[in-house]
Amino acid sequence: MSHTLQSIAEQYLDEILEAESKLNYSLFIKRFEQKDVTNFGESKFKKDMYAIREDLGEYQDREYLGALKGINNIDYPDRHPNCVRHVWKGIFEKNETVIIVGIHEKDGVHYVNECMYH
């Protein structure tokens, strides 16, 4: 994986964390393709953010762990064939978690296709 792709992933995660902090749905979905947020509206976003805050507290820091080849989704085999999943240890006020941000490239543009805490 190139250093450039890691830099893009770091930038996109910064934007996602800012969006979560401000409860800004538009900023959160800014780097997603529309098809990847079709079933993820503003009310679900806010509900998820409140649950994350309850479980983890406020974001404090992170440590980049590496990148993994994306997983194939048998329901959507052609959706993101070249996805790379970037992984961080996320340090929050109450707890630590794994943060995963999937990124794929389409027509020269990099998009987020997943953002999860585990």
Q: Which CATH number characterizes residue 49's domain?
A: 3.10.450.50
Q: What is the pLDDT of residues 49-104, one digit of tens each?
A: 999 999 999 999 999 999 998 766 666 666 777 899 999 999 999 999 999 999 99
Cβ proximity of 6 and 64 under 8 Å? yes
Sheet holding 84-92, edge to edge: 59-69, 84-92, 96-106, 109-117
Range of the domain at 89: 3-117
Task: Give which of 112, 96, 95, 116 is closest to 27, Cα–Cα.
Answer: 112
Count how many domains the chain has. Answer: 1
Q: What is the pLDDT of residues 104-118, one digit of tens each?
A: 998 999 999 999 999
- Looking at the predicted structure, is the pLDDT value of residue 2 above 60? no
Q: What is the pLDDT of residues 11-27, one digit of tens each?
A: 999 999 999 999 999 99
Cβ proximity of 85 and 101 under 8 Å? yes
d(CA 116, CA 52): 11
Q: Model pTM?
A: 0.88
What tokens does 83 get?
């996805």
Q: Residue 18: phi, psi to the nearest 5?
A: -65, -45
